[in-house]
């Protein structure tokens, strides 16, 4: 099995040569972080991933998590808890928290770069810590001192698992329909009753406790999102110094297509009328709080998909460098040795496609995490602008690596031919594993409606204006370099098209029903993603071309050439895909709305 799954050089390139990290490192919270600290953190997490995560990737899939009827417990791979504890002990849960809170005060841009490594090594295992990280951050941000003291340290140590318990049978995409109830008790806690489905990390026997950050409705609360509150609902609650069952039971695990080592549980809360929940923050503000965890998890999902796409890329690259098959079209002589498949133009196309998607996705993840550091820790205009850009790009960072990652991994499987379809190689697992990313944390459709229906309209389109200004600054830089002028022009045209199409749709929103305006929101998000990633490729190519012009040599020269060439691939093969999308988005034909359901039944 291939053992390269990520390029640390690539992560460092984005951090040190593409993004302006001085804007993050100059913030008081992050003053201990210099270039050396960034590199050390990435190297450390790579070592941890090599030791604890990557070696159990295939086994976690082959010996999947299961519910043991006899003992009534959920069995997972024995290496999982070791990995979680090692990451907890290494400070990789609650890492963003301040030193006083027990964290590392680590910038999100570094933390998410590290997450890409962990996910590339083994998303099945790393995802457990991502959840605990988000859940502990949520208690820290909005919970009382008592909740903080009781739960957060154990979660940060990797001893207790955290979850996000939102989804119910009738409330998936539509969280306003959550019906789990919470009734105030005399002791100030709430009696919780309801069921939660698909809860990741929701139950397994090797963790001491599981802390469900649960959305529920207090009796008498208003309907819709304004009546949802957030509760800490532990699997075991403490009573008079000992831990007792809190009446959260597992009805079963879902048999999943991929990520089979990563539990998704169907939970029953309060079947025996004995499930206690502890309110986080104020009542009825639960969904608003939960957005903190959801937004972190959306960057996290982008990191997961990009990481899996990266691992698939390196596995297929290795194969392409070892597999001899066929000859060049100009050589029909069967007595001549076969060439390695990496020599074939079409195999190179598939490899370039994978590289452009995985590294484009990683760049997007790093950029959004970078904006989040500024949005949360800077002041004044810088803070406000970064906040707007982050809000605008959150649907993109969630969806682009997920949707295109599916296609990239599929291309990776194709590179291996028949071998790719067998379980002798990890491609078949990556193909199954990555598929979920476009579904959980909000389906791509939901993010399409978010960007088109809310984000680009916010503050009279100021976020989009800011993004276009960022693009323009890269275009201006690239236009001054003879090697990049053509591509600067192409991005200029694409940015103009993005603006025009957005304005067209905004006007449509004023004239027609929301159904019309939003019917192709997913396609709008797709176009938005391609243009954004084109920008990030030009930004990378500008840094790489500058290094080439400054006479980079040896391996470094090859690395930079690879960047420039992949940018050219992206502009030649991928960017043109926005044309049919624009045509569709501007069309007056509303086929999906006008059709009778009966026609497709
Ligand atoms: C493996 C796995 C792990 C998960 N982990 C968690 C977890 O840890 N915690 C948690 O709370 N949830 C979790 N989920 C739930 C996940 O977030 C939901 O499955 C997802 O949000 C979609 O909800 P749904 O499955 O009910 O699909 P639905 O909401 O029924 O959607 C079905 C289809 O209809 C479309 N659709 C829905 N509403 C609209 C609309 N208004 N307009 C247009 N199209 C629409 C959707 O895009 C989708 O294509 C997990 C799910 C899975 C499969």
Mean pLDDT by runs of 10 across the 601 residues of the chain is: 86 98 97 97 98 98 95 96 97 97 97 98 98 97 98 97 98 97 98 98 97 97 97 97 97 97 98 98 97 96 98 98 96 94 98 98 98 98 97 98 98 98 98 98 98 94 98 98 98 98 94 92 98 99 98 97 98 98 95 90 91
Full DSSP string of 237-288:
EEETTEEEE-SEEEEEE---SS-TTS-EEEEEE-TTS--EEEE-SSTT-HHH
Characterize 460-482 residue by residue with b for buried, 16 or more Cβ atoms within 10 angstroms of its Cβ, and e for exposed. Answer: ebebbebbbebbeebbebbbebe
Q: Do residues 251 and 267 touch, judged by C-beta distance below 8 A?
A: yes
Q: Which CATH architecture has domain 8-64+77-156?
A: Orthogonal Bundle (1.10)
Kindly give the distance from the C-alpha atom of residue 448 to the centroid of ligand 1, in angstroms, as a whole number: 14
Kindly give the distance from the C-alpha atom of residue 173 to the centroid of ligand 1, in angstroms, as a whole number: 5
Q: Do residues 158 and 132 touch, judged by C-beta distance below 8 A?
A: yes
Kindly give the distance from the C-alpha atom of residue 440 to the centroid of ligand 1, in angstroms, as a whole number: 6
| Pocket, ligand 1, Cβ cutoff 6 A | 163-167, 172-173, 198-200, 256, 264, 436, 439-440, 442-443, 445-446
Class of residue 563 by CB neighbours under 10 A (exposed 0-12, middle 13-18, buried 19+): buried
> So what's the pLDDT on residue 529?
98
Question: Residue 212: phi, psi to the nearest 5?
Answer: -90, 120
Instruction: Tell me which residue of 564, 526, 536, 566 sits closest to 351, measured CA to CA.
Output: 566
> So what's the pLDDT on residue 2?
47
Kindly give the distance from the C-alpha atom of residue 229 to the centroid of ligand 1, in angstroms, as a whole number: 20
| Spans of all domains in the chain | 8-64+77-156, 160-284, 444-591
Kindly give the distance from the C-alpha atom of residue 169 to the centroid of ligand 1, in angstroms, as a whole number: 10
Residues 6+ away with beta carbon under 8 Å from 66: 74, 75, 253
Q: What is the DSSP letter of 550?
A: T
Question: Residue 165: phi, psi to the nearest 5?
Answer: -110, 90
Kindly give the distance from the C-alpha atom of residue 303 to the centroid of ligand 1, in angstroms, as a whole number: 19
Rounded to whole angstroms, the Cα distance separating 140 from 280 reads 10
Which CATH fold topology does 160-284 show? Butyryl-CoA Dehydrogenase, subunit A; domain 2 (2.40.110)
Ligand 1 pocket mutation pick from 134, 138, 167, 257 by most atoms within 8 angstroms of CB: 167
> So what's the pLDDT on residue 3?
79
Q: What is the DSSP letter of 176?
A: G
Give the chain's radius of gyration (CA, Å).
24
Ligand 1 pocket mutation pick from 258, 399, 440 by most atoms within 8 angstroms of CB: 440
Residues 6+ away with beta carbon under 8 Å from 243: 209, 236, 237
Atom of ligand 1 nearest to the CA of 173: 29
């Amino acid at each position: 099995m291939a053992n390269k799954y990520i390029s640390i050089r690539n992560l460092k390139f984005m951090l040190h040569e593409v993004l302006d990290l001085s804007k993050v490192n100059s913030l008081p919270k992050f003053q201990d972080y210099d270039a050396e600290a960034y590199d050390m953190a990435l190297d450390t997490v790579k070592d941890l991933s090599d030791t604890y995560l990557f070696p159990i990737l295939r086994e976690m899939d082959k010996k999947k998590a299961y519910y043991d009827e006899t003992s009534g417990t959920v069995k997972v791979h024995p290496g999982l808890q070791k990995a979680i504890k090692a990451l907890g002990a290494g400070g990789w849960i609650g890492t963003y928290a301040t030193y006083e809170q027990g964290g590392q005060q680590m910038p999100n841009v570094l933390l998410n770069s590290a997450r890409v490594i962990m996910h590339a090594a083994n998303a099945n295992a790393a995802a457990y810590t991502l959840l605990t990280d988000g859940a502990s951050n949520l208690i820290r941000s909005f919970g009382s001192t008592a909740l903080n003291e009781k739960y957060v340290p154990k979660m940060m140590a990797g001893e207790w698992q955290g979850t996000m318990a939102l989804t119910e049978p009738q409330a998936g995409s539509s969280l306003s329909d959550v019906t789990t109830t919470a009734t105030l008790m005399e002791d100030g806690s709430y009696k919780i009753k309801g069921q939660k489905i698909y809860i990741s990390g929701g139950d397994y026997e090797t963790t001491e406790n599981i802390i469900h950050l649960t959305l529920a409705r207090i009796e008498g609360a208003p309907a819709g999102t304004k009546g949802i509150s957030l509760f800490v609902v532990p699997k075991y609650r403490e009573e008079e110094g000992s831990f007792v069952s809190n009446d959260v039971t597992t009805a079963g695990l879902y048999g999943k297509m991929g990520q089979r080592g990563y539990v998704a549980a169907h939970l029953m809360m309060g079947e025996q009328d004995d499930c206690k929940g502890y309110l986080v923050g104020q009542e009825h503000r639960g969904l608003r709080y939960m957005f903190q965890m959801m937004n972190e998890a959306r960057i996290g999902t982008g990191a997961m998909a990009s990481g899996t796409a990266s691992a698939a890329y390196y596995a297929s690259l290795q194969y392409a460098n070892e597999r001899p098959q066929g000859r060049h079209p100009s050589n029909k002589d069967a007595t001549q040795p076969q060439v390695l498949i990496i020599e074939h133009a079409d195999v190179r196309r598939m490899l370039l496609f994978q590289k452009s998607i995985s590294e484009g996705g990683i760049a997007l993840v790093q950029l959004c995490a970078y904006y989040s550091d500024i949005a949360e820790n800077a002041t004044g205009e810088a803070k406000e602008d970064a906040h707007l850009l982050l809000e605008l790009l959150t649907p993109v960072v969630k969806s682009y690596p997920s949707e295109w990652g599916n296609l990239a991994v599929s291309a990776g499987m194709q590179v291996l031919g028949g071998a790719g379809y067998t379980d002798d190689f990890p491609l078949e697992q990556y193909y199954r594993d990555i598929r979920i990313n476009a579904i959980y944390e909000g389906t791509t459709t939901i993010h399409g409606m978010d960007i088109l229906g809310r984000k680009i309209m916010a503050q009279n389109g100021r976020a989009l204006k800011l993004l276009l200004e960022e693009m323009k600054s890269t275009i201006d830089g690239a236009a001054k370099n003879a090697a990049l002028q053509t591509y600067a022009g192409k991005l200029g045209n694409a940015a103009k098209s993005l603006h025009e199409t957005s304005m067209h749709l905004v006007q449509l929103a004023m004239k027609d029903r929301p159904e019309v305006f939003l019917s192709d929101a997913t396609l709008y998000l797709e176009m938005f993603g391609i243009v954004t990633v084109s920008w990030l490729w030009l930004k990378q190519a500008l840094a790489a071309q500058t290094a080439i012009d400054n006479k980079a040599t040896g391996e470094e020269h090859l690395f930079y050439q690879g960047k420039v060439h992949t940018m050219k691939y992206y502009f030649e093969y991928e960017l043109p895909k926005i044309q049919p999308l624009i045509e569709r988005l501007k069309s007056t034909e509303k086929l999906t709305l006008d059709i009778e359901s009966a026609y497709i039944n």
